[in-house]
Structure 1
């Protein structure tokens, strides 16, 4: 991948401490789009000096920042990744391999947490969410992680509307409802640099659960009662 064939969207809110490592881990041909979501620690300025494309999104929310990055992307392929040092961008070529060979439309990085990387309440919430998604969609999903890979135009065609914590879930649900081929690839998940704005606090986790519950309700309404089954009749 010479030239910028992949744009990597990195939503950013006060991540100055993690930015140098994160940006240094981008493979050749991968261009960083750092979406500053109101940082007060100079994250945007630092990212620019480190060679990233910087987009400013004043509307607060993970979804607002992530979608602003998707709209700013110009490469054929787009990846999403956290900007806090918990996920290693060097893993992205492995996620893109199934997209490039045509065996998958959207690849999710299934987080494999190191000790201390995931608060207990957030881990439990993730297990429950994954169980509900398997029941609703029939997809073999274990984690709705933020690291993912797909094609830009296809991602834009989903018409994503959530601008808060429900954005990754909305992407997954709409892709599943359209019959996209979704797969997971395990990726290491390390303790983040600095304090989490979402899953690191109980309040943040509850907010995320509320946002995601709205997406699940909408998806259930669109599919009718009961779980969606695959072609073999399995839930």
Structure 2
């Protein structure tokens, strides 16, 4: 999947970066996330939150300069899809609002985009992801193996929430999945020949309670992986 890349003519900076996320009752963690983004990017990155909370999450986000788009809760994918399609910056980074992802990795993500990659995907499992519940960790390994077998190329973390995308990638593809959107956001670009690379990231223990049932959510993700891979294989035939 890590195809040889060439450097872009014009180097992108934090002024070209947007960090986006779906938020739902994450008041306990979101201030930490937004503060980290501000510090790492010197306050130059745009921040977009698509929010369905009934707590003070949107107020905290606005206090930190984020653009908040209010949306009735409809699931992870609906919120994140809206978030990635909103900014007009050249590079869009998705993250979660529970403080599990390392915002200090943003410079590395931007560096890889400047090296010519279209999608930079954070691999949480590379370092073991010990902060992740064991059942979830096992499931994520299985998702990666399933996707790899159907795609015909090795991927290591299909469901990570931290990725960087060139804007034309997210605008040119029609996204269809909800719970399985994270996997779709990796699989479709990779199978369509975009330059995709995975890079190791640390994964921290989440702040606040998870909103996703591991069994129900896992089944939905597995179905999405199969559906998206088969759709992309059919597209190759025509």
Q: Provide TM-score, normalisation by structure 2.
A: 0.84
Q: Which moved more, 1:54-63 or 1:119-128?
A: 54-63
Per the alignment, in what secondary structure is the counterpart of residue 87 of structure 1? Answer: coil
Measure how far apart 1:59 and its partner are.
Answer: 4.0
State the match for 1:44 in structure 2: 58
Q: What's the counterpart of residue 35 of structure 2?
A: 24
1:11 is matched with: 22
Give the Å deviation of 1:114.
Answer: 5.3
**Which residue does the alignment assign to 1:155?**
170
Q: Give the Å deviation of 1:124.
A: 0.9
Which one of the candidate residues 57, 60, 66 is aligned to 2:80? 66
CA contact (8 A) 2:48 2:83 kept: yes
Describe the SS at the equivalent of 2:201. strand
CA contact (8 A) 2:169 2:189 kept: no
C-alpha deviations, 1:138-162, integer Å up to 9, x for none?
3331112110001112212111011
**1:5-154 matches, cutoff 5 A:** 5-26=16-37, 27-28=41-42, 29-36=44-51, 38-102=52-116, 104-111=117-124, 112-113=127-128, 115=130, 117-144=131-158, 145-154=160-169
4+ aligned runs moved over 4 Å, structure 1: none
Select the structure that is richer in helix: 2
Deviations 1:93-131 (A, max 9, x none): 2122121121x211110113554x211110111111111
**RMSD, aligned CA:** 1.9
SS at match of 2:199: strand
Distance in 2 (alpha carbons) for counterparts of 1:2 and 1:132: 36
Distance between the aligned counterparts of 1:64 and 1:113, measured in 2?
29
Q: Which residue of 207, 217, 220 corresponds with 2:230? A: 220
Alignment: residue pair count: 216
> 2: CA distance between counterparts of 1:221 and 1:62?
21
- In structure 2, the gaps of 5 or more residues are 1-11
